[in-house]
Amino acid sequence: MAGRFLSFLCCELAGGLIGWWLGHDYAIRTGLVAGGLGWLAVDSLRATRVLRWLLRGNAEAVPPVAGIWGEIVDRARRVLRASDQELVTARKRLQEFLEAIQESPNGVILLDAQGRIEWCNQTAADQFGLDPKRDLMQQVTNLVRDPSFTACYNDNGSGGSGGSGGREVVIPGPRSVPSRPVRLSLYLHAYGEGRKLLLSRDVTAVEQAEVMRRDFIANVSHEVRTPLTVLTGFVETLQNLPLEAGERARYLDLMARQAQRMQTLVGDLLTLSRLEGSPLPGAGEWTPAAALMVQCEQDGRSLANLLGKALNLRVGPPPALEIAGAPSELLSAMSNLVSNAVRYTPAGGSVDMQWRPLADGGAEFRVCDTGPGIALEHIPRLTERFYRIDRSRSRETGGTGLGLAIVKHVVQRHGGELSIDSTPGKGSIFAIRFPPRRVRAAPSLNGQAPADTGAPPATESLAG
């Protein structure tokens, strides 16, 4: 401030001196006035420059002004720089925030007070079939056309600003078709000045799992109820009627069969739950495929005896290879296939089981039968739990409807494949294919170490 006053005095002094030098009284006064006006003009010029610079708002292009104006410019520049920095930081944070929402597995749509889309993430765009750029500022109810969503939107809109107002509505996705249904769960939350946040989640898998869970419980209850009803009936008969020893023994035999049926069902259910809950079988435990086949053959023969069926049960040459995985699971899958073939093939038919090498170095266990065969439309559904083509036939032979579901599970856990090939009236071929990494040559009789995983020679030796 002192500098400003000093510069004014200097201008006045200079004007006065010039007037004195000219030698007239009025000239001194005029010189003083001219000095003051000159100072004012220079000062105004500086003020204008500073004002223009402030209007431009560019903290870097500083005008060359000295004195108090220079100081003002310097302070204003610092303030501008700080606010520029804050702006950059705020923009960066907003960008990071939007990127985080972009990565969300749930859809997020921001709506303005008029219900227009201000922003949406890619998940929401995919779920609703939106274009994140083209559909900006479009009315959401024009793009998400579902009566329950519109009703929810209108309800929420009348709730006014603020408040959460989150109510779930589940609508079919725009790309939903009967063969591939898509279900979206939507939540609408009000915030700010009449704005809304629309959250969406794909609940197709959750709903399907729920349906499967309900079906599964209904199936299990049904499967248990039937033998239980029979058992209860026999118990009542035994309690209330005086029966002869022979009749009594027959009833007890029928009861034992029903109890056995329930036991088999519980056993299969436990096997499935163990398969679902246990870690994947490692590739470090090797089991000779020949031993597995011998066990399957024994199981098949005793089942045929139990069913009183004369079958031609043939077994291929013992395979000189080993399979990596859980032996109990492998045996369960293989003997399920053999048991099905024995149960469904009529007396006099034949059941063949054998190991075959595969060109890729893997191996295949296949069971061929001359049973009734399976119509093409049933094949994709055979591994569903409790799916049976002929319910009474399955039950008569002690089936639970879970055998092939167990096989499929085991095969998947071992990285393999189950293939079913069948011709109605002729027979079926069920095959389990193991990948090369789960197959190796069995140690030779002279005690040599086995070749490495799935080496082609291992399977080639089987070819003969």
Q: How far is the CB of 258 from ligand ADP (least distance, A)?
A: 16
Q: Which is nearer to ligand ADP, 34 or 303 (CB)?
A: 303
Reported for 305-310, long-range contacts at CB under 8 A and 24+ positions apart, including other chains, are 307/342, 307/343, 307/397, 309/342, 309/345, 309/346, 309/347, 310/347, 310/348
| Beta strand spans in 31-167 (E) | 107-111, 117-120
Torsion of Cα atoms, 31 then 37 then 43 then 45, to 10°: -120
Q: State which residue, 361 or 403, has the beta carbon closest to ligand ADP.
A: 403
Nearer to ligand ADP, 320 or 374 (CB): 374
CB of 126 to ligand ADP, least distance (A): 37
For residues 207 and 421, which CB has a smaller minimum distance to ligand ADP in the complex?
421
Count, residues in the chain: 464
31 or 372: whose CB is closer to ligand ADP?
372
**CA atoms of 385 and 397, how far apart (whole Å):** 17
Nearer to ligand ADP, 303 or 462 (CB): 303
Q: What angle do CA 148, 154, 156 make, to 5 degrees?
A: 100
**CB nearer to ligand ADP: pick between 405 and 439:** 405
Instruction: Take residue 317 and report the two structure tokens written for it.
Output: 């040459």
Pick the closer one to ligand ADP by CB: 244 or 377. Answer: 377
Shortest distance, position 225 Cβ to ligand ADP, whole Å: 17
Bridge pairing between strands 321-324 and 350-357: unpaired
The span from the CA of 190 to the CA of 155, in Å, is 11
In whole angstroms, the minimum distance from the beta carbon of 428 to ligand ADP comes to 4
Q: Closest distance between ligand ADP and the C-beta of residue 335, in Å?
A: 11
CB of 367 to ligand ADP, least distance (A): 7
Q: Are 73 and 63 in contact (CB under 8 A)?
A: yes
Nearest approach, Cβ of 128 to ligand ADP (angstroms)?
A: 40
Instruction: Supply the minimum distance, in Å, between the C-beta of residue 277 and ligand ADP.
Output: 20
Residue 277 CB partners (closer than 8 Å, separation 6+): none
Contact residues for 298 (Cβ-Cβ < 8 A; gap 6+): none
- Would you give the end-to-end CA distance of the chain in angstroms? 110
If the CB atoms of residues 143 and 379 are measured against ligand ADP, the closer one turns out to be: 379
Chain residues in the site for ligand ADP (CB under 6 A): 340-341, 344, 369, 371-372, 374, 382, 387-390, 394, 399-405, 428
**Whether the Cβ atoms of residue 15 and residue 40 lie closer than 8 Å to each other:** no
Which tokens hold the place of 156? 């929420």
Q: Where are the beta strands (DSSP E) in 358-426?
A: 363-369, 417-423
Of 269, 226, 293, 233, the C-alpha closest to 432 is 293
- Report the nearest approach of ligand ADP to the CB of residue 348 (Å): 15
Distance of CA 151 to the CA centre of its chain: 30
Q: Which is nearer to ligand ADP, 265 or 320 (CB)?
A: 265
Q: Cβ–Cβ contacts within 10 Å for residue 404, how many?
A: 23
Task: Say what the alpha-carbon torsion angle 93, 94, 95, 100 is, to the nearest 10 degrees.
Answer: 90
Rg (CA), the chain: 44
Q: Could you tell me the smallest distance in angstroms from the CB atom of residue 455 to ligand ADP?
A: 33
Whether 188 contacts 152, CB under 8 Å:
yes
Q: Which is nearer to ligand ADP, 289 or 407 (CB)?
A: 407
Interhelix angle for 327-344 vs 289-306, to 10°?
Answer: 40
